[in-house]
Amino acid sequence: MILTGEFDSSTNLAVLNWTAYAGPNLANYTVRWTQGVPHDDDNDVLVATLPPTNTSLETQDGVFTPGSIASFKVFVVLTSGGEAGSNPVTIQHP
Protein backbone atom coordinates (compact mmCIF):
# COMPACT_ATOMS: atom_id res chain seq x y z
CA MET A 1 0.00 0.00 0.00
CA ILE A 2 1.40 3.36 -1.03
CA LEU A 3 0.18 6.62 0.54
CA THR A 4 0.40 10.00 -1.20
CA GLY A 5 -0.81 13.36 0.02
CA GLU A 6 -0.87 17.09 -0.55
CA PHE A 7 -2.38 20.27 0.84
CA ASP A 8 -5.29 21.65 -1.18
CA SER A 9 -5.17 25.44 -0.83
CA SER A 10 -8.66 25.85 -2.31
CA THR A 11 -10.26 23.81 0.52
CA ASN A 12 -7.56 24.16 3.23
CA LEU A 13 -7.54 20.38 3.63
CA ALA A 14 -4.93 17.64 3.54
CA VAL A 15 -5.82 15.27 0.70
CA LEU A 16 -4.66 11.67 1.18
CA ASN A 17 -4.84 8.85 -1.37
CA TRP A 18 -3.57 5.28 -1.09
CA THR A 19 -3.45 2.14 -3.15
CA ALA A 20 -5.99 -0.50 -2.17
CA TYR A 21 -4.84 -3.39 0.00
CA ALA A 22 -4.73 -6.50 -2.21
CA GLY A 23 -4.60 -9.17 0.50
CA PRO A 24 -7.42 -11.12 2.16
CA ASN A 25 -9.36 -10.36 5.35
CA LEU A 26 -9.35 -6.55 5.26
CA ALA A 27 -11.64 -5.21 8.00
CA ASN A 28 -10.96 -1.48 7.49
CA TYR A 29 -8.40 1.27 7.12
CA THR A 30 -7.43 3.69 9.86
CA VAL A 31 -5.81 7.05 9.15
CA ARG A 32 -3.56 8.50 11.87
CA TRP A 33 -1.43 11.63 12.20
CA THR A 34 1.22 13.19 14.39
CA GLN A 35 2.45 16.75 14.58
CA GLY A 36 5.70 17.46 12.73
CA VAL A 37 8.21 15.05 11.25
CA PRO A 38 8.79 12.12 11.49
CA HIS A 39 5.53 10.25 12.06
CA ASP A 40 5.47 8.94 15.64
CA ASP A 41 3.67 5.56 15.77
CA ASP A 42 3.66 5.62 19.59
CA ASN A 43 1.82 8.94 19.82
CA ASP A 44 -0.30 9.13 16.69
CA VAL A 45 -3.90 10.33 16.73
CA LEU A 46 -6.78 8.60 14.96
CA VAL A 47 -8.31 10.70 12.19
CA ALA A 48 -10.77 8.19 10.73
CA THR A 49 -11.75 4.56 10.41
CA LEU A 50 -12.82 3.81 6.85
CA PRO A 51 -14.42 0.82 5.12
CA PRO A 52 -12.34 -1.33 2.73
CA THR A 53 -13.89 0.46 -0.28
CA ASN A 54 -12.33 3.84 0.65
CA THR A 55 -8.87 4.76 -0.61
CA SER A 56 -8.90 8.50 0.03
CA LEU A 57 -9.58 11.07 2.73
CA GLU A 58 -9.68 14.85 3.07
CA THR A 59 -9.05 16.26 6.55
CA GLN A 60 -8.14 19.39 8.51
CA ASP A 61 -6.50 17.33 11.24
CA GLY A 62 -2.93 18.46 11.80
CA VAL A 63 -3.00 21.17 9.12
CA PHE A 64 -5.67 23.53 10.48
CA THR A 65 -3.45 26.59 10.93
CA PRO A 66 -0.97 28.18 8.51
CA GLY A 67 2.54 26.82 9.00
CA SER A 68 1.39 23.60 10.68
CA ILE A 69 3.06 20.35 9.65
CA ALA A 70 1.53 16.90 10.08
CA SER A 71 2.74 13.40 9.24
CA PHE A 72 0.10 10.86 8.20
CA LYS A 73 -0.04 7.08 7.85
CA VAL A 74 -2.78 4.74 6.73
CA PHE A 75 -3.06 1.38 8.47
CA VAL A 76 -4.58 -1.81 7.10
CA VAL A 77 -6.62 -3.48 9.85
CA LEU A 78 -7.34 -7.17 9.28
CA THR A 79 -10.31 -9.14 10.57
CA SER A 80 -7.84 -11.00 12.81
CA GLY A 81 -6.92 -7.70 14.49
CA GLY A 82 -3.47 -7.46 12.90
CA GLU A 83 -2.44 -4.22 11.24
CA ALA A 84 0.29 -2.77 9.06
CA GLY A 85 1.11 0.85 8.28
CA SER A 86 1.84 2.61 5.03
CA ASN A 87 4.75 4.87 4.28
CA PRO A 88 4.50 8.20 6.14
CA VAL A 89 3.47 11.35 4.25
CA THR A 90 4.20 14.84 5.55
CA ILE A 91 1.89 17.72 4.65
CA GLN A 92 2.38 21.40 5.49
CA HIS A 93 -0.25 24.12 5.52
CA PRO A 94 1.38 27.04 3.66
The string of pLDDT tens digits covering residues 30-83 is 999 999 999 999 999 999 999 999 999 999 999 999 999 999 999 999 999 999
Taken in order of first residue, the domains within the chain and their CATH numbers are: 3-92 (2.60.40.10)
pTM value is 0.94
* Contact residues for 47 (Cβ-Cβ < 8 A; gap 6+): 30, 31, 32, 33, 57, 59, 61, 72
Beta-bridge mates of residue 69: 92
46: nearest Cα among 72, 19, 69: 72
What is the distance between the alpha carbons of residues 50 and 14, in angstroms, rounded to a whole number?
A: 16
